Amino acid sequence: MSQAAALIQFSGITKTYGRGQAAFQALKGIDLTVQAGDFVAVMGPSGSGKSTAMNILGCLDTPSGGSYLFEGVRVETLSRNDRALLRRHYLGFVFQGFNLLARTTALENVELPLIYRGEPRAARHAAARAALAQVGLAGWEHHTPAELSGGQQQRVAIARAIVTRPHVLLADEPTGNLDTRTSEEIMDLIVSLNRDQGITVLMVTHEPDMAAFARRVVRFVDGRVESDASNGEAG
């Protein structure tokens, strides 16, 4: 895979927390290439570095060393404000705990990223309604999270992540709080976003059944990539 064609390129990425004898090296030289349209499951035991790598990918943290290219831009050289702009315009996030605002409607939750981008009210409403319809929640716009099931809440969270039309969806244990049937429905939705809209997906999961939906599985162990292979079970 050529570096020029890659959407994401990690080269020798390291991350160290603390100093001196208290220093902990969370990442020990990560090389990772992700092409546009890929669907990568990131696996590994607790403390393996996968969450640290995802935080760097999502511009929520910066590496201690190495190079991070996103669409050819050297992310590690960007200012905090420029990283925030990259995050706002190119990345969508889905979390295990949904992270919805409890007292606001589904529509208002989905609109949030567009408010940060300064979109006009009418345009926000239209885009949020379209995103909710896309995840199967047309007609649920005015329900609050307390009035929604766990699966519906995660669908709202996915709608919020895709309402900005991101290039990359970063999902951290997106099915961790859901039962098996609902988990499979959410994974089918993520697969369709990847397949039909070309959204690149990077997903942290502990569950092999969920990783089986991805095209590729990258395994982290002790701050290094232990394996990176195509997923024979993926569609």
Task: Give the pLDDT of residue 3.
Answer: 44
Q: Is residue 3 part of a domain?
A: no
pLDDT confidence band for 5 (50 / 70 / 90): low
Query: How does the average pLDDT of the chain come out, rounded?
Result: 92
19-32 average pLDDT score:
92
Domain hosting 135: range is 8-230
Look up the CATH number of the domain holding residue 114.
Answer: 3.40.50.300
Residue 222: partners with Cβ closer than 8 Å, 6 or more residues away = 28, 48, 49
Q: Is residue 176 part of a domain?
A: yes
Q: Is residue 60 part of a domain?
A: yes
Task: Give the model confidence (pLDDT) of 173-199 as tens digits.
Answer: 999 888 999 999 999 999 999 999 999
Task: Give the pLDDT of residue 1.
Answer: 40
Q: Is residue 1 part of a domain?
A: no
33-61 average pLDDT score:
94
Task: Give the pLDDT of residue 94.
Answer: 92
Other beta carbons less than 10 A from residue 121's beta carbon: 10
How many residues are there in the chain? 235
Residue 169 pairs with which residues in a beta bridge?
92, 201
24-41 average pLDDT score:
95
Task: Give the pLDDT of residue 2.
Answer: 43
In the chain, where do the E strands start and end?
Answer: 8-17, 24-34, 39-43, 65-70, 73-74, 91-95, 168-172, 200-204, 216-221, 224-230
Q: Is residue 87 part of a domain?
A: yes
119-139 average pLDDT score:
94
Better pLDDT: 70 or 235? 70
Q: Is residue 130 part of a domain?
A: yes
- Domains held by the chain: number: 1
